[in-house]
């Protein structure tokens, strides 16, 4: 899940980015409305966490920009302002939730997950492919009831493949979900994660496997369909 985080407090931005990445999210953090608008034009997000007091304007303006661009991402406003007026203004402008600073990291991730689970976000809690179940809420992958341990990045790859099980997922899509803008992207990162995932699936009793379509992307499908 790729999250846009707009926050001009660099320390807080880094803290939240790291905390959420540990939970398996990919986070692009920007400190100004201008940068965030550019990112929104270029990339697609699953949710937005938005500070209101930004150096080049009010976070509400970014909310309006997104609505004008028909970007229906769920938005959580994160701010130190606790006036009822501000809260109402944010919700009226189309925000979905509101969290006051200071906050606990756990509460923030729980709220973001709740936003992602909303029916209009088009996201289900459990992804199922063959005998693999991916619980997007607890970030647990299990095969026939046994939880398997994989890294957050492998999890992100598996999640994308499971969301489109039986269909081809472009390598670029996997790459964009894997890395925030700030991260270094090595040419074979997707391949490396796919290869580790394949090994994990082969070690377990997974009834699905990952197929490579050279130059196109990857596909998760039942092993019986391989022949």
Q: Which residues bind Ca ion (CB under 5 A)?
A: 8, 51, 53
> Are 193 and 157 contacting, i.e. CB atoms less than 8 angstroms apart?
yes
Query: What is the number of the residue whose Cβ is closest to Ca ion?
Result: 53
Instruction: Give me 123's structure tokens.
Output: 């996201």
Decide whether 8 or 61 has the Cβ nearer to Ca ion.
Answer: 8
Decide whether 59 or 74 has the Cβ nearer to Ca ion.
Answer: 59
Q: Provide the minimum distance between the beta carbon of 3 and Ca ion in the complex, in angstroms, as a whole number.
A: 17
How far are the Cα atoms of 40, 61, 72, 159, 192 from residue 33, in angstroms, in the given order?
Answer: 10, 8, 17, 30, 35
Decide whether 28 or 51 has the Cβ nearer to Ca ion.
Answer: 51
Q: Provide the minimum distance between the beta carbon of 55 and Ca ion in the complex, in angstroms, as a whole number.
A: 8
Q: Give the CA count within 13 Å in the CB-facing half-sphere of 81.
A: 19
Decide whether 79 or 193 has the Cβ nearer to Ca ion.
Answer: 79
Q: Provide the minimum distance between the beta carbon of 12 and Ca ion in the complex, in angstroms, as a whole number.
A: 8
Helices (H) and strands (E) in the chain, counts: 8, 14
Question: Smallest Cα–Cα separation from 139: which of 162, 166, 119?
Answer: 162
Q: Provide the minimum distance between the beta carbon of 101 and Ca ion in the complex, in angstroms, as a whole number.
A: 9
């Amino acid at each position: 899940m790729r999250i846009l985080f707009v926050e001009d407090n660099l320390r807080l931005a880094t803290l939240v980015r790291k905390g959420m990445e540990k939970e398996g999210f990919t986070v692009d953090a920007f400190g100004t409305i201008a940068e965030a608008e550019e990112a929104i034009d270029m990339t697609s997000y699953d949710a937005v966490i938005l500070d209101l007091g930004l150096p080049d304007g009010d976070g509400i303006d970014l909310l309006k920009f997104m609505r004008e661009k028909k970007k229906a991402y769920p938005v959580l406003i994160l701010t130190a302002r606790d006036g009822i007026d501000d809260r109402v203004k944010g919700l009226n402008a189309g925000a979905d939730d509101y969290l006051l600073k200071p906050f606990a990291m756990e509460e923030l991730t729980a709220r973001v997950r709740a936003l992602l689970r909303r029916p209009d976000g088009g996201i289900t809690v459990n992804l199922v492919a063959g005998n693999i179940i991916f619980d997007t809420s607890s970030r647990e992958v299990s095969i026939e009831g046994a939880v398997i341990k994989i890294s957050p990045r492998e999890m992100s790859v598996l999640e994308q493949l499971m969301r489109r099980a039986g269909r081809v997922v472009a390598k670029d899509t996997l790459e964009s979900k894997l890395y925030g803008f700030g991260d270094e992207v090595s040419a074979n990162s997707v391949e490396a994660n796919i290869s580790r995932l394949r090994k994990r699936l082969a070690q377990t009793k997974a009834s699905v496997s990952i197929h490579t379509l050279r130059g196109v992307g990857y596909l998760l499908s039942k092993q019986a369909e391989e022949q």
